[in-house]
């Protein structure tokens, strides 16, 4: 009895596997894009009973009347010698807003960032950045927010986020994407050279209560 001829034109195991992987990757990309585009609810404080189906963006206080002490503390930071400096979120946000340049608000293109915001809560520093996205006539608001602490890296301290949210997408669960977003966020505001040098001289950076503590021995 002769065997039935095999279909030499059928897909190979490699082709089937590759197709499945590409379909899975496309599905992940589409799902990530969908979650990233979903709006978050901006609030001043978390509701007593948060909706588990919502992602909240809690803004940090930026009252200039309470943040005006940042100038004196900046001077303490850049002057040589021992120093112990406590910064509130009001002071951090007042410093950030006063140090913005005109070009910070004129970045066109695909993503236009708005005002960055700091919040200190639960032993972590939150960095939030509302953005607007414009693609071929499509406009969408987006909030990027990271939460983390400071860790020693070599002879200096660096902000190390353990949570990176892009819209409703938990980007920190996608290590490459989370790292890219956090790095881009950190690079958006370039500190003056004197502050960079002062930061490198710190012996400790930590968060206690609702304060960022900078210490130089």
| Distance (Å, whole) CA 167 – CA 195 | 31
Tens-of-pLDDT digits for all 217 residues of the chain? Answer: 445 455 556 665 655 555 554 444 444 444 455 566 678 999 999 999 999 989 999 999 999 998 989 999 999 999 999 999 999 999 999 998 887 654 454 455 567 888 899 999 999 999 999 988 776 667 778 898 999 999 998 889 999 999 988 888 888 887 676 677 777 777 766 778 888 899 999 999 999 999 999 999 9
Q: What is the pLDDT of residues 22-46, one digit of tens each?
A: 444 444 444 455 566 678 999 999 9
| Distance (Å, whole) CA 1 – CA 137 | 66
Question: What is the DSSP code (8-state) at residue 114?
Answer: -
Which two three-digit tokens encode residue 123? 């032993």
CATH number of 41-216: 3.15.10
List, as own/partner pairs, every contact residues 55-59 make where C-beta atoms lie below 8 angstroms and the sequence separation is at least 24, other chains included.
55/165, 55/167, 55/168, 57/128, 57/130, 57/143, 57/145, 58/119, 58/121, 58/126, 59/117, 59/119, 59/128
């Amino acid at each position: 009895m002769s065997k039935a001829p095999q279909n030499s034109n059928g897909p190979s195991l490699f082709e089937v596997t590759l197709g499945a992987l590409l379909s899975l990757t496309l599905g992940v990309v589409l799902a990530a894009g969908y979650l990233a585009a979903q709006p978050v609810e901006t609030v001043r404080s978390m509701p007593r009973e948060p909706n588990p189906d919502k992602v909240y963006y809690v803004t940090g206080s930026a009252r200039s009347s309470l943040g005006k002490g940042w100038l004196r503390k900046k001077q303490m930071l850049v002057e040589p010698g021992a120093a112990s400096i406590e910064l509130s979120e009001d002071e951090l946000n007042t410093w950030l807003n006063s140090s913005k340049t005109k070009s910070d608000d004129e970045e066109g293109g695909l993503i236009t960032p708005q005002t960055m915001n700091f919040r200190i809560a639960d032993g972590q520093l939150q960095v939030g950045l509302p953005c607007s996205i414009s693609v071929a006539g499509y406009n969408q608001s987006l909030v990027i927010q990271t939460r983390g602490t400071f860790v020693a890296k070599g002879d200096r301290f660096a902000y190390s986020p353990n949570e990176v949210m892009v819209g409703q997408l938990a980007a920190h669960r996608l290590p490459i994407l989370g790292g890219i977003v956090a790095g881009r966020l950190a690079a958006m505001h370039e500190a003056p050279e004197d502050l960079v040098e002062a930061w490198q001289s710190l012996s400790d950076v930590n968060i206690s209560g609702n304060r960022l503590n900078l210490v130089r021995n």
